[in-house]
Amino acid sequence: MADSTTPIAASAATGEVAELPPSALVRQRTRAAWLFLLPTLIAMGLVAGWPLGRTFWFAFTDANLTDLTASQFVGFASLLSVIEDPDWWTTVWTTFRFALVSVSLETVLGLIIALTLNAQFPGRGVARASVLVPWAIPTVVSARMWAWMFNDIYGVINAIFLKVGLISEPMAWTAEPSLSFAAVVAVDVWKTTPFMALLILAALQMLPGDIYEAAKIDGSGPIRTFFQVTLPLLKGPLMVAIIFRMLDALRVFDVFFVLTGGSTDTMPMAGYARQRMFEYQEIGVGSAAATLLFAIIAVFTAVYMVVGRVNVGGEA
Amino acid sequence: MKVLKKTAFWLMLAVIAVYTLFPFYWAIVSSLKTGSELFEVDPWPKQPAYSNYVDVFTAQPFGQNIFNSVIVATAVVVLSLLLGLTASFALARIQFRGRKVLLLSVLAVSMFPQIAVLSGMFELVRWLGIYNKLPALIISNLILTLPFTVWVLTTFMRELPNELEEAAIVDGATPWMIVTRVFLPLLGPAMATTGLLAFIAAWNEFLFALTFTQSDNVRTVPVAIALFSGGSAFETPWGLIMAASVIVTVPLVVLVLIFQRKIISGLTAGAVKG
């Protein structure tokens, strides 16, 4: 597709616009562009740029919740108190482990679900819609639903596992750190796999059909076709989806907040930052932790933009 | 062989369906159980009782919480669409210097971790005098919905035919007229899709809503549900929580079922081709 924003006056395709002085039209449209963007730019400056800048500033102060105006510049002291805190590194480790485990599971499950929903069968629309449901409800609600299912005494999961013989005694899913980590992953996988499945499904539907015809004629079985044809073709979109989800997983907060409460053994980075800010009232130290998280996300975003070859120009 | 394949396929579908829907089923069943029944693992309550659904609204300001969520989400959607419409026209249809930088910044802002603006936003909210008031949530939620709205609408706008715009320019239409009279009527579906996704994002937002509100009656639904608690740690009102969860989930499920096509197209419009 040609660039849709080429000024008309410059395109020779339409003869009748020739009498419009091109520069006047271009000038008018450029002015309009900036006027049109102004409200959004102001809004973004107010709700994104300014608060982000203030957070960075607080990271170099000893700001306290009781009186933000009394904060003093302390250089790297706040950042150092985060880096020297073993609890911070526990949360870093938890967050990365969570991101790796849950995104891997979501990718595999998403692939399986997408391949299943890609087939032609009656009721496909309903199946697709039902897959969307976990994605649409608030994370807090799904976390609460699962927390009840995971309840150590009355939970349905322990009851089923006991019946089937998977476990011999009830497990404290939400109390024990290693188990509660598994519980958090389970909720996140349940909630976000649909998103993954839909992205993969969209990519699957763009694949040319004749390749599969050729594979069939060559006598390649379904499994071989998947590994030799489908997977290589999906590599690009899959990478983008994975990085996108990694970014999301590194910012995680809600699921942990509901399922594991405030213990630092099972807390994500965002939870640590918020706890320092509002429970210990150390806005400076909390902002330093938030700034570190921001830096990690920024690196991943840069990778995403390079790998995804993000199409910002409008040329396909 | 063929029968085996078919059976395996439907089995697979059944497993996916159970995995996806079982938690909802269990929440509904639990919400209809009261007293000691809640602690028996029965697949269906012996005597379904609706008292949990009544208690949610009488023992908690849950009606107010729903109202708050509706107000916040609606305001956020309206603001995002108003701002996003003109911005995306400029970004999609006009060649000007700095366009790529702007598009990249929009994308970058949509990747912000919310926690990175939390303390700065808190200060701003305090300074504007809207702490513990709904406008605090409306303003802060824009950071989630505005970049996304601009991005998706830009994707949709690019696909509109050039001829329309050219004809309008020949007729002497200003850019403003092109947006409002030529494109807007065609953008109905795109606006609906984007609006719906923004609504869901604002409706589900938790971190800002938790941090910028204090009183029970200013809380939004997710915060209320997260903080429901009984008299002590040992008596979490699970029946109540499940009832509240079901109440919140039903309208979203209906929305998803009605607009599934739109949602899928919107979710993938923002996605990038590899």
The yes-or-no verdict on residue B7 having pLDDT over 50 is yes
**The CA-based dihedral angle spanning residues A238, A241, A246, A248, taken in that order and rounded to the nearest 10 degrees:** -170
- Residues A297, B116: C-beta atoms closer than 8 Å: yes
Of B13, B17, B225, the CB nearest to A144: B225
Structure tokens belonging to residue B16: 């996916």
The DSSP call for residue A61 is B
Q: At what angle do helices B51-58 and B238-269 cross, to 10 degrees?
A: 80
pLDDT band of residue B30 (cuts 50, 70, 90) is very high
Residue to mutate among A30, A34, A40, with most B CBs inside 10 A, is A40
| B221-272 pLDDT, tens digit each | 999 999 987 655 567 888 999 999 999 988 888 888 888 777 777 777 655 4
Structure tokens belonging to residue A94: 């938890």
For residue A16, the model assigns a pLDDT of 43
For residue B212, the model assigns a pLDDT of 96
For chain A, the average pLDDT equals 84
Chain A nearest CA to B134, separation (Å):
15
Top pLDDT among B178 and B236 is at: B178
pLDDT band of residue B209 (cuts 50, 70, 90) is very high
Please list, in sequence order, all residues whose beta carbon lies within 8 angstroms of the beta carbon of residue A153, skipping any fewer than 6 positions away: A170, B39
Contacts of A131 in chain B (CB under 8 A): 16, 20
The yes-or-no verdict on residue A312 having pLDDT over 60 is no
pLDDT band of residue A7 (cuts 50, 70, 90) is very low
What residue segments make up the domains of chain B, in order of their start?
1-48, 59-269
Mean pLDDT in residue range B44-48? 81
For residue A25, the model assigns a pLDDT of 81
Please list, in sequence order, all residues whose beta carbon lies within 8 angstroms of the beta carbon of residue B160, skipping any fewer than 6 positions away: A4, B183, B186, B187
Contact in structure between A291 and A80 (CB atoms under 8 Å): no
What three-state secondary structure class fits B154?
helix
Distance of CA B1 to the CA centre of its chain: 45
For residue A17, the model assigns a pLDDT of 45
Mean pLDDT in residue range A219-246? 84
- Residues A30, B96: C-beta atoms closer than 8 Å: yes
d(CA B131, CA B68): 15
For CA atoms B244, B248, B251, B254, the dihedral sign is negative
d(CA A127, CA B171): 48
Q: How many CB pairs under 8 A join A and B?
A: 320
The DSSP call for residue A6 is S
Q: What is the CA radius of gyration of chain A?
A: 26
For residue B230, the model assigns a pLDDT of 63
Mean pLDDT in residue range A58-87? 92
Of B91, B143, B257, the CB nearest to A48: B143
For residue A314, the model assigns a pLDDT of 43
* B46 CB burial (10 A radius; 0-12, 13-18, 19+): exposed
**Which residue has 């513990």 as its token pair?**
B132
pLDDT band of residue B78 (cuts 50, 70, 90) is very high
Contacts of A268 in chain B (CB under 8 A): none
Mean pLDDT in residue range A182-200? 90
Q: What is the pTM of this model?
A: 0.87
The yes-or-no verdict on residue A247 having pLDDT over 80 is yes
Nearest C-alpha in B relative to A310: B272
Contacts of A159 in chain B (CB under 8 A): 41
Contact in structure between B225 and B172 (CB atoms under 8 Å): no
The yes-or-no verdict on residue A2 having pLDDT over 80 is no
Distance of CA B146 to the CA centre of its chain: 13
d(CA B79, CA B82): 5
Contact in structure between B66 and B53 (CB atoms under 8 Å): no
- Residues A294, B142: C-beta atoms closer than 8 Å: no
d(CA B53, CA A113): 35
Structure tokens belonging to residue B245: 């969860």
Contacts of B90 in chain A (CB under 8 A): 32-34, 36-37
d(CA A217, CA A240): 32
Chain B nearest CA to A24, separation (Å):
12
**Which residue has 């809600």 as its token pair?**
A254
Of B20, B113, B174, the CB nearest to A293: B113
Nearest C-alpha in A relative to B211: A278
Mean pLDDT in residue range B160-178? 87
- Residues A253, B115: C-beta atoms closer than 8 Å: yes
The CATH topology of domain B59-269 is: MetI-like fold (1.10.3720)
Residue to mutate among A148, A195, A257, A292, with most B CBs inside 10 A, is A148
Mean pLDDT in residue range B86-111? 88
Contacts of A270 in chain B (CB under 8 A): 113-115, 207
- Residues A140, B147: C-beta atoms closer than 8 Å: no
- Residues B91, A37: C-beta atoms closer than 8 Å: yes
| B114-155 pLDDT, tens digit each | 999 999 999 999 999 999 999 999 999 999 999 989 988 998
- Residues A314, B257: C-beta atoms closer than 8 Å: no
Mean pLDDT in residue range B156-178? 87
The CATH topology of domain A78-309 is: MetI-like fold (1.10.3720)
% residues pLDDT > 90 (chain B) = 43
Chain A nearest CA to B268, separation (Å):
6
Nearest C-alpha in A relative to B41: A156
Contacts of A28 in chain B (CB under 8 A): 174-175
The yes-or-no verdict on residue A196 having pLDDT over 50 is yes
- Residues B113, A194: C-beta atoms closer than 8 Å: no
Contacts of A53 in chain B (CB under 8 A): 120
What residue segments make up the domains of chain A, in order of their start?
8-58, 78-309
Q: At what angle do helices A124-136 and A177-204 cross, to 10 degrees?
A: 140
Contacts of B221 in chain A (CB under 8 A): 138
Please list, in sequence order, all residues whose beta carbon lies within 8 angstroms of the beta carbon of residue A58, skipping any fewer than 6 positions away: A71, A78, A283, A284, A287, A288, B119, B120
